[in-house]
Every structure is written in structure tokens, then in C-alpha cells.
Chains A and B, each alone.
Chain A
Amino acid sequence: MDTTVVNTGTEGKTWGGGNKPLNASYGKMMMWFFIVSDALTFSGFLAAYGFSRFKFIGSWPIADEVFTHVPFFHGNYPMIYVAFMTFVLIMSSVTMVLAVDAGHHMNKAKVTIYMFLTIIGGLIFVGSQAWEWNTFIKGDFGAVQTKGGNILQFVDTDGNRVALRDFVVAEDKDRTAHENKNGLWFVSEGTLPTYTVEEVIAGLESHDNVLVRTQDLNENGEKTVLDRGASLQQLKLNGKVVVEGANLKVNEYGSPLFADFFFFITGFHGFHVFSGVLINIIIFFNVILGTYERRGSYEMVEKVGLYWHFVDLVWVFVFTFFYLV
């Protein structure tokens, strides 16, 4: 443990930091301090998510119905892909800790291989995260937002979700999306939805087997489905905007807050993974160049390892609170 620590001339003095009560090097201890503060940041975010969820406990989206996609496969597979992502991140934690262990044995070749595998694991995770975001933003079934900001989704008489494209016909429209290059330069507008509310009403009227499902959870923890009359009435009376997918303002899966927290928390975590990958790459090249071999200690790998494991640790909690609970 005497390798990377700079001598301060205070060794052996009680208040000079020389007698090492925690028996850890300066760098490792600072990494632990950083981790504690970052853990508090993340728990602040997750607790805020919990606050909003408890506030809207009777109408919060059901994660199993939101995250159901797996790349290259069609169909309804709730949670399978996130479980895969969790496993990838845990696996890359394992290769990281193996790299640390190889570093303790001063085995440069093994440290190099394990660092490389860790970086690959991190890249797979960030890529999966990007795919997950893309799927979430694009949406699947589409919905109508009411004047009060609630979401009306559509189901058939058996309770299966029906996409807007399955029963609504888009007519020709004169209205095109406003772009600031050919209109008011200080005004911008997002993509216009494929359908208008009137077209959705017409589609609902012509399909007897389609019903409206509201955000509210019934006593079985399922979303309430309105009967035919109430469906039409609710849509005609309150329907305001057609929503396809999700962004920070609207969200076809339910409460906009759900999308906001999803983007914010998984985004913040994804940013941590991304910077972790960058740091790992720097360390990887340092290992190849023999920096730590010359220094006589691979403690830097251990410090970066702490950060990498912490990112994994946070994901374990994000996984639970976003996808399971």
C-alpha cells in the first residue's frame, strides 16, 4: 500500500493523516466519498420518483405494460430485455473485479483482457439503453390525451390493447407542421400526430369492439375499461390531443411524470455508464502502455473498479423501482 501514496512528511503524527486509521489510500478513500455523495444524489432522484408515484398511486402506469419489447422479436415479453441488461452490467462488474484481482497479482496480460471485456459489457449496456429509449419515445399503440391531461388508451372487448393504426383512418390534411425556417423563427412545433382527435372519434364509432381504457387502477390493480357508451362519451367530451410515443410533455403510457422520471433517472444513470466506459478505456490504455507495471501497483484499476461497481449498484435499484415494483 506504499506505492502511489505521496509522502507528506506527516507520517506517524496523529493529526497529519499519518497513522492511517482507515487503512486505505487517499485515492480510494476519496472515491468512497464520491460514491457516498453520488449515492445520495441517486436516492434523491428515486425518492422523488417514489413521491410522485405515491401521489398518483391510483393511476400510475404499469411497467409490465410499458416495457414489453425485445429487439428482433415481435410480441409481448415484459421485463426480459431489462433482465438481460441487468445481467450484462453484473457480468461486466465481474470482469472488472477479476481485473482488480489480476492487478493484485501484477498480471498485466490478464488485467488487459478483463478490462477489455468490461468495456465491451459497458458498451452493450449503453447500446441497450439507447434502444430502450428509442422504443419508449416512438411508442406503440398511441393514445388520446384529455383536457385534464389524462390518457385514454384503446382496448378490444377481451382487454387486449388496440393500436390507433388498427382502427383509425387518417384523412388528407392541409395542416403541416410549423417549421421556424418558413414561419415565425422564434416559434417551433414538434411532429404532428398522424391522426386528429376527430378521426379517432370516427374510428371508434365505426368499430363496435373497441373500448376506451382510462388511467385509473381498479381494485385488482388493473386499468379501468369503460363500456361502449361511456367510451364514446368520454372521448367526445374530453379528447384533446392524439399522443404517439412519449416525450417530456406528453406520454402515451400514462402520466407524463412517468416519462420525465424515466428519461431523467435512466438518462443520468446512462451518463454514468458512458463516463465509466470512457474512464475504463483510459485505464485500459494505461495498462497496455505499462503505466501501472512501472508504478508497481494496479491500484488505479481498483479505484476505477469502485466507480464501475457503483454504477452497477445504482442500476440494481433503478431496475427494481422502475421495472419491478
Chain B
Amino acid sequence: MADAHKLEILRGLVKFKSNTQKIWGVLILLTIITAVEVILGIYKPEMLMGQFIGMKILNWIFIILTIAKAYYITWDFMHMRDETAALRRMVVWTAVFLICYLIFILLQEGGYIESVYSSGYIKRDF
């Protein structure tokens, strides 16, 4: 078990000598991502405030960076990288599919109610 770790991150761009070294490498990566998020959150650059598919571009950047962080926590801290493909897919795809479905339904409905509030009449009568 102990020597079965896969030691590459970023698709082989960075390769570590030992598992301990990889852990510290991932910590640095996660810290950089968090720092970028906080700096963007404090300064909120004007050019990222435009709208893109219903949300600000900045918010999309936050969500993508968060998913990137989640990937490295799951893959390297929780050793998903070393598990069999079947276990990995069973856990990840189940969650991803159900969560996407749930978020889509709820946000769609929330946006609809908002439109009823703001425009004062029912646009689509189901």
C-alpha cells in the first residue's frame, strides 16, 4: 500500500519524489488558489463584473477555483487518485450528477419566483 501512491499532479507537470513531498506541494497549490480568491474578493476588479450566463464573471471564477480546490482535496488528501477507477467513478459521478440536478432545479425555481416578484405577474403558467 505505502509505495503505491501516484506522485504526479497537474497531469504530470509536477512530479514529486515522495508522498510527503506531494502533500506539501498540494498545500502550496491550495494556498495559492485561496489567496487568489481572497484577493479577487477584496478588490473585485471592474472588468470581471460583467454578466455571463446569469451570474457575474467573478462568481464563475470563484466557483471554478472552488471546484479545483475540491478536486485536489479529494484526489490527493483523500487518496482518490490511488483508488480503483470503479470506486472513484461510483463516488464522484453519483455526487456530481445528483448535485447538478438539484442545483439546476432550485436555482431555476428561485429565479422564476424572483421574476414574479419583480415583474408582478406570472410569466409562465405551469
A54-B113, A309-B77, A313-B70 given; name 5 further pairs at CB < 8 Å.
A1-B1, A40-B99, A78-B41, A94-B24, A105-B2
Q: Is the CB of A64 within 8 A of B114?
A: no
Total chain A interface residues with beta-carbon distance under 8 A: 57
Please, what's the 1-or-0 string for A16-38, where 1 marks a CB less than 8 Å from any CB in chain B? 00000111100001001001100
Q: Is the CB of B73 within 8 A of A44?
A: no
Q: Is the CB of A22 within 8 A of B90?
A: yes
The minimal Cβ–Cβ distance linking B98 to chain A, given in whole angstroms, is: 6
Could you jot down 29 A-B contacts, CB within 8 Å? A1-B1, A21-B86, A22-B86, A22-B90, A32-B87, A32-B90, A39-B99, A40-B98, A40-B99, A47-B99, A47-B106, A48-B106, A53-B110, A54-B110, A54-B111, A55-B113, A57-B114, A87-B31, A91-B27, A94-B27, A97-B76, A101-B23, A105-B2, A309-B74, A312-B77, A316-B70, A317-B66, A324-B59, A325-B62
With a cutoff of 8 Å between Cβ atoms, the chain B residues found around residue A83 in the complex are: 34-35, 38
With a cutoff of 8 Å between Cβ atoms, the chain A residues found around residue B2 in the complex are: 104-105
Q: Which residue of A44, A56, A64, A104 contacts B1 across the interface (Cβ within 8 Å)?
A: A104
Flag whether A229 is at the interface (Cβ < 8 A). no
Q: Is the CB of A55 within 8 A of B110?
A: yes
With a cutoff of 8 Å between Cβ atoms, the chain A residues found around residue B126 in the complex are: none
How distant is the Cα of A34 from the Cα of B50 in the complex, in angstroms?
Answer: 39
Q: Which residue of B34, B79, B86, B95 contacts A87 across the interface (Cβ within 8 Å)?
A: B34
Q: List B residues 76-126 near A (Cβ within 8 Å).
A: 76-79, 83-84, 86-87, 90-91, 94-95, 98-99, 102-103, 106-107, 109-111, 113-114, 117-118
Q: How many A-B residue pairs have CB under 8 A?
A: 139
Q: Is the CB of B20 within 8 A of A22?
A: no
Flag whether B30 is at the interface (Cβ < 8 A). yes
Flag whether A176 is at the interface (Cβ < 8 A). no
With a cutoff of 8 Å between Cβ atoms, the chain A residues found around residue B19 in the complex are: 101, 104
How distant is the Cα of A270 from the Cα of B65 in the complex, in angstroms?
Answer: 23
Flag whether A139 is at the interface (Cβ < 8 A). no
Flag whether B63 is at the interface (Cβ < 8 A). yes
The minimal Cβ–Cβ distance linking A189 to chain B, given in whole angstroms, is: 32
Q: Is the CB of A47 within 8 A of B23?
A: no
Flag whether A98 is at the interface (Cβ < 8 A). yes
Q: List B residues 49-68 near A (Cβ within 8 Å).
A: 49, 59, 62-63, 65-66
Q: Which residue of B74, B87, B106 contacts A22 across the interface (Cβ within 8 Å)?
A: B87
How distant is the Cα of A161 from the Cα of B92 in the complex, in angstroms?
Answer: 45
Please, what's the 1-or-0 string for A295-312, where 1 marks a CB less than 8 Å from any CB in chain B? 000000010011001101
With a cutoff of 8 Å between Cβ atoms, the chain A residues found around residue B90 in the complex are: 22, 32
Q: Is the CB of B95 within 8 A of A36?
A: yes
The minimal Cβ–Cβ distance linking B44 to chain A, given in whole angstroms, is: 8
Q: Is the CB of A36 within 8 A of B91?
A: yes
Q: Is the CB of A50 within 8 A of B103?
A: yes
Flag whether B42 is at the interface (Cβ < 8 A). yes
Who on chain A is nearest to B116 by CB? A55
